[in-house]
Structure 1
């Protein structure tokens, strides 16, 4: 008769209990956020994510269904937080007796995204992951942007049409798309301000970035129509 082992075997695919109480799903998400930020969706591998999270690939599939399911869970987790906070800030502005100014609308739109820079490495990784979305498969990228950001962005465009005297719908939409492209570049971590300025200026101060970007965008939104 073979004696039973005194040490219980670890269940396949399970991660040891975290002393700080971090769940297995959250541990996987934290690692995946960094990997997707470093490599983008296409180049990232479940194998690397599993190794760095100390789990099996099978466990990732069990929780998230696929690499795409994992990516979508990550993107929606933080993206919806940003979009919902944007909408809450807009609702507060619209609830006041006096209508919001263009500067107030732009500040409210930008603030939730740039606040992520103050929330640690995981949030910064999401910012980089989001910036890379422009280089991911069109079907995935467009659908995620539409599901996460379109509702609040349309509401801001409508508010801009009311806030800018004489602006037409085409200008409001074009200018918002220019604004989105500009702030995503400044959030990407790949801006070249320090390099181009030979170290005289940098984008390390988040408040300065938002202030200068807001100044720029106010000018763009309030510029006379080109037609």
Structure 2
């Protein structure tokens, strides 16, 4: 009697472990690799080895390294934008109009909440900090698709909330705010070094409070 032919596995697939699906395992490992090296320097080989799958399986699920990167970035980034919009909608639904401080705080908090979340969220924070080193076309498109809608709504709300804030200043000052908070999220700030260890950015609540103070002062400053 002839022996039965062995069952074929799908392209390079290895069984999931610990209840985590293969796709989720790939995404978890890819997030750490992209956070460590950036999009350009990251390799599918390193991701495949870390996830215990073949490179062919990564291509099967995600199509390419760029699409894998975009999937990761959009999954976390769109959630940040959704939370921002929900907070803004709640402020605008009140009888009393929101203050500049309330708007700035609502804009910042979904991003800074990621600092104390799961490893995948913290990896996303580092991916985001590296985005300005990535190819311009990729970085600009991702920022636009993920963040522009909610950010434009916050700019409009700030223009209404701050007396005398014209459209030009509202846009300029929001861009300065975005650059400042991204730097503070990057993990590369030099506060401890410059203060000889007297101050640091480990306490997220303190970072958000002090950053909000600074940004509100800049956004509401006269002139411009």
Band of TM-score, shorter chain: over 0.9
**Segments ≥4 residues shifted beyond 4 Å:** 1-5, 7-12
**How many residue pairs are counted as aligned between the two chains?**
224
Task: Describe the superposition over 1:96-148 as per-residue Cα deviations: whole angstroms up to 9, x where unpaired.
Answer: 00000000000000000000011122111100000100110010000000000
Match of 1:114 in 2: 112
In the TM superposition, residue 18 of structure 1 has moved relative to its aligned partner by 1.5
How is 1:100-139 mapped onto 2 (pairs within 5 angstroms)? 100-139=98-137
How is 1:59-70 mapped onto 2 (pairs within 5 angstroms)? 59-70=57-68
Task: Describe the superposition over 1:36-74 as per-residue Cα deviations: whole angstroms up to 9, x where unpaired.
Answer: 000001000101100111000000001100000000000
TM-score, normalised with respect to structure 1: 0.95
Match of 1:154 in 2: 152
Match of 2:75 in 1: 77
Does residue 17 (structure 1) correspond to residue 16 (structure 2)? The answer is: yes
In the TM superposition, residue 225 of structure 1 has moved relative to its aligned partner by 1.6
Structure 2 runs not aligned, ≥5 long: none
Judge conservation of contact 2:11–2:56 (CA < 8 Å) in 1.
no
Match of 1:36 in 2: 34
Does residue 203 (structure 1) correspond to residue 198 (structure 2)? The answer is: no
User: CA 1:2/1:200 → structure 2, altered by over 3 Å: closer, same or farther?
Assistant: farther
Q: Secondary structure at the match of 1:150?
A: helix
Does residue 225 (structure 1) correspond to residue 212 (structure 2)? The answer is: no
Q: Secondary structure at the match of 1:55?
A: coil
Comparing 118-127 with 157-166, which one deviates more in the overlay? 118-127
Supply the distance in 2 between the matched residues of 1:39 and 1:199 (Cα, whole angstroms): 28
Structure 1 runs not aligned, ≥5 long: none
Task: Describe the superposition over 1:163-189 as per-residue Cα deviations: whole angstroms up to 9, x where unpaired.
Answer: 110011010000000000000000011
Does residue 172 (structure 1) correspond to residue 170 (structure 2)? The answer is: yes
TM-score, normalised with respect to structure 2: 0.96
